[in-house]
Amino acid sequence: MEKLNIIQSTFVPLAMENVDTDQIIPARFLKATTRDGFGKNLFRDWRYENNDENQPKADFVLNQPQYAGKILVAGKNFGCGSSREHAAWSLLDYGFKVIVSSFFADIFKNNALNNGVLPVIVSDAFLQKIFQQPNTGTLTISLENQTITIDATGEQDSFEINNYKKTCLINGYDDIDYLISITSEIEEFEHAGNF
Amino acid sequence: MVKSIPHGPSVLYIDKHFIHEVTSPQAFSGIEKRGLKVLRPKQVVATADHNVPTQNQHLPILDQLSRLQVNQLIENCAKHDIELYGLGHPFQGIVHVIGPELGITQPGMTIVCGDSHTSTHGAFGTIAFGIGTSEVEMVFASQCLLQSKPKQMRINIDGVLSRGVVAKDIILYIIAQLTSGGATGYFVEFAGSVIRNLSMEARMTICNMSIEMGAKGGMIAPDQTTFDYLEGRQFAPQGEGWTKKVEEWKGLVTDQDAIFDKEININAADIQPMITYGTNPGLGIAINALVPATEAIADEGERKNLVKALDYMGLSGGNQLLGTPVQHVFIGSCTNSRIEDLRMVANVIKGKKKHEGVQVMIVPGSQQVAKQVYAEGLDKIFTDAGFEIRQAGCSACLGMNEDKIPAGDYCVSTSNRNFEGRQGAGARTLLASPLTAAAVALTGVVTDVRDLMPQP
């Protein structure tokens, strides 16, 4: 997993609530057996008319050239629904490193963290402030300091993240590295008949 | 729990790990890349459900990518010594139907699966929740997961259920009250006299949809109903082991003085047969109520959501759903494809014919459920009515396999999600109970099942 600490980038505003993982990546694209290449189908049915890449929907934010960047800013309850990790893979493959919202669905949040995509949880008020920024503005996220800043105005919000996960992201570790390192303790637990 | 990391998550030991073809291939290749084997293959159970056709299952799968994915599961299970109930196996079926019906799911277990509806197993007093593929890989490698303790919520449902109201209506009502994100961060216990009086199938329907309000999981304390359901099932403990286990399970109840972070009380009499009108499961109403008018919504975000949802659904706020023509009825999915659900449908339609304008697909959740359908003669009731009986699988719940609803068509579905495109690009889903689905099959329009039932 890639290390992650400070991200400064323009952002893509997706001012919609309850964005479910079926929208992020529809089920018909879950037939792949690798983790790669999902970015081209990210938000597929919101992005294209008639499922045709030659017919981009002009009103969808990913098709609007003024919006770009490594940060996606979305309305509350982002990533609800299915547990498909393909949703996190498609966002990462498309180029997003950070997703900002006022709250995330649990499974999506874990899937993002397990792929080095940082879910940043801000207050509703701060989220609205970001949506009101011009498209040329940048955001700076510091994982170390757990802060997100609107660079044009200097306005800042802090965000919570589990300390263990924070260390993992900064160092590029994943949970499997840790779990494998305690195999003998897991075996002791099994032998004690605790399960 | 194996141990806790100071100021961090705990290491939770996983008793049973269910896997299926869609969310496991990258986890297998992940551990292989690290040079690891599945640590406890005997605690893993596999089936093929999401991607399988529900017709001609004896033939090779037509869709090449689906076939590859299912074949990869077969190869991976063989290589890692994992029991697979694949196509053609008498135990094959939807993962959340087969676990309980085979007695693999037992009270007190920790259970995970790369599928959000793993919450279903909570009906047996288990800690069961859906995980992503990286987590599937973690459980393969270590039989453990790193977890932080969720907040706790209890939902008490007391009183007497009205005529025509079943488990699906209870959970759709709860989600409509709490919204689709209202239980995020919580593990939910369902309690109260109404829950106590429900069958295991009904309890599974309720726990199944806990995720639709964002809950980490849902659970119901085990009781005599649980033990009666499990006794004698294929993988349930037998003989002396059974008696010992039941004694142990009887202790799995919430302490009298337990304090929850949130507690909600629901009067059963307030619940009517429910139906959804929007594009998340929280957008549900009593079947005879009006679809909310957009101008009546004060919150701007919510109003925008509703406008978008109604636009997709081709509905207008302020009107009734009753009488809306419906082109498809889907009876199936991990929410409502168990034998009790199908008996419920049969009772409504027995001796009647479906409406000519509606196509009805009925998909038993497992080979065992299908076998029971034929043993009880329900198949005759269904075929006489003009229903199409399919073979076990997730079918039209998720628009991944061959079973899809065409764009623009309405489908009254006993499944769990009405997201845009969930049942096929452009398809419009109305979630409801098996009773309501049966009523709609007969009339071809959104119908209050109570109008078709004999007067009390």
The complex's ipTM?
0.96
Instruction: Please report residues of A whose CB lies closer than 8 A to that of B421.
Output: 22-23, 26, 45
**At B219, is the secondary structure helix, strand, or coil?**
strand
Cβ contact A28–B115 (<8 Å): no
Q: Using an 8 Å Cβ cutoff, are B342 and B362 in contact?
A: yes
In the predicted structure, residue A181 carries a pLDDT above the cut 90: yes
pLDDT for the residue numbered B264: 98
pLDDT for the residue numbered A1: 81
Cβ contact A164–B7 (<8 Å): yes
Q: How far is A81 from chain B (nearest CA, A)?
A: 7
How would residue A194 be classed by pLDDT, with cut points 50, 70 and 90?
low
**For the stretch B123-135, what's the b/e string if a residue is b when 16 or more beta carbons lie within 10 angstroms of its beta carbon?**
bbbbbbbbbbbbb
Q: CA-CA distance, B135 to B114, in Å (whole number)? A: 8
Cβ contact A80–B29 (<8 Å): no
B16: contact with A, CB 8 A cutoff: no
Secondary structure (DSSP) of B147-183: EPPPEEEEEEEES-PPTT--HHHHHHHHHHHH-TTTT
Q: How far is A177 from chain B (nearest CA, A)?
A: 9
| Nearest residue in A to B71, CA atom | A33
Cβ contact B142–A186 (<8 Å): yes
| Nearest residue in A to B397, CA atom | A27
Q: How far is B113 from chain A (nearest CA, A)?
A: 9
Cβ contact B419–A103 (<8 Å): no
A33: contact with B, CB 8 A cutoff: yes
Q: Using an 8 Å Cβ cutoff, are B358 and B332 in contact?
A: no
Q: CA-CA distance, B2 to A182, in Å (whole number)? A: 10
Cβ contact A107–B69 (<8 Å): no
pLDDT for the residue numbered B456: 73
Question: What token pair was written down for B290?
Answer: 């009006």
Task: Single out the residue of A147, A139, A143 nearest to residue A168, CA to CA.
Answer: A143
Counting Cβ atoms within 10 Å, is residue B255 exposed (0-12), middle (13-18) or buried (19+)?
exposed
How would residue A107 be classed by pLDDT, with cut points 50, 70 and 90?
very high
Q: Report the sign of the C-alpha dihedral through residues A180, A183, A185, A190, in that order.
A: positive
**At A143, is the secondary structure helix, strand, or coil?**
coil
Cβ contact B68–A163 (<8 Å): no
Q: Report the sign of the C-alpha dihedral through residues B276, B332, B395, B207, in that order.
A: positive
pLDDT for the residue numbered B206: 98
Q: CA-CA distance, B60 to B56, in Å (whole number)? A: 8
Q: Using an 8 Å Cβ cutoff, are B401 and B66 in contact?
A: yes
B419: contact with A, CB 8 A cutoff: yes
Task: Single out the residue of B434, B396, B376 nearest to residue B54, CA to CA.
Answer: B396
Secondary structure (DSSP) of B410-455: EEEESSS---TTTTSTT-EEEE--HHHHHHHHHHSB---GGGTSPP
A187: contact with B, CB 8 A cutoff: no
Q: Which of residues 77-116 of A touch B (CB under 8 A)?
A: 77, 80-85, 88, 103-107, 110-111, 114-115
**At B331, is the secondary structure helix, strand, or coil?**
strand
A37: contact with B, CB 8 A cutoff: no
Q: CA-CA distance, B207 to B257, in Å (whole number)? A: 23
B8: contact with A, CB 8 A cutoff: yes
Instruction: Please report residues of A whose CB lies closer than 8 A to that of B51.
Output: 31
Mutate to test the interface with A, among B21, B119, B142 (most CBs of A within 10 A): B142
Cβ contact B2–A185 (<8 Å): yes
**At B336, is the secondary structure helix, strand, or coil?**
coil
Cβ contact A83–B2 (<8 Å): no
> Which regions of chain B are under pLDDT 50?
none
The overall longest dimension of chain A from CA atoms, in Å, is 61
| Nearest residue in B to A85, CA atom | B132
pLDDT tens, position by position, A36-62: 999 999 999 999 999 999 999 999 999
Q: Using an 8 Å Cβ cutoff, are B338 and B204 in contact?
A: yes
Q: Which of residues 208-227 of B touch A (CB under 8 A)?
A: 211, 214, 216
Helix axis angle for B367-375 and B339-349, nearest 10°, is: 40
The CA angle A105-A111-A115, to the nearest 5 degrees, is: 140
pLDDT for the residue numbered A135: 82
Rg over alpha carbons for chain B, rounded to the nearest Å, is: 21
Q: Is this structure's pTM higher than 0.90?
A: yes
**Mean predicted lDDT score pLDDT of chain A:** 95
CB neighbours of B146 closer than 8 A, spacing ≥ 6? A164, A175, A178, A179, B5, B8, B9, B10, B11, B12, B138
- Which residue from A77, A83, A186 is facing B23, i.e. has the nearest CB? A83
Can you count the helices (H) and strands (E) in chain B? 14, 19
Cβ contact B148–A162 (<8 Å): yes
DSSP letter assigned to residue B251: T
A131: contact with B, CB 8 A cutoff: no
Rg over alpha carbons for chain A, rounded to the nearest Å, is: 18
Q: CA-CA distance, A1 to A177, in Å (whole number)? A: 11
Contacts for B6-10: CB closer than 8 Å, 24+ residues apart: B7/A163, B7/A164, B8/A162, B8/A163, B8/A164, B8/B146, B8/B148, B9/A162, B9/A164, B9/B146, B9/B147, B9/B148, B10/B146, B10/B147, B10/B148, B10/B149
pLDDT for the residue numbered B387: 98
Task: Single out the residue of B307, B317, B179 nearest to residue A16, CA to CA.
Answer: B307
- Which residue from B51, B131, B399 is facing A31, i.e. has the nearest CB? B51
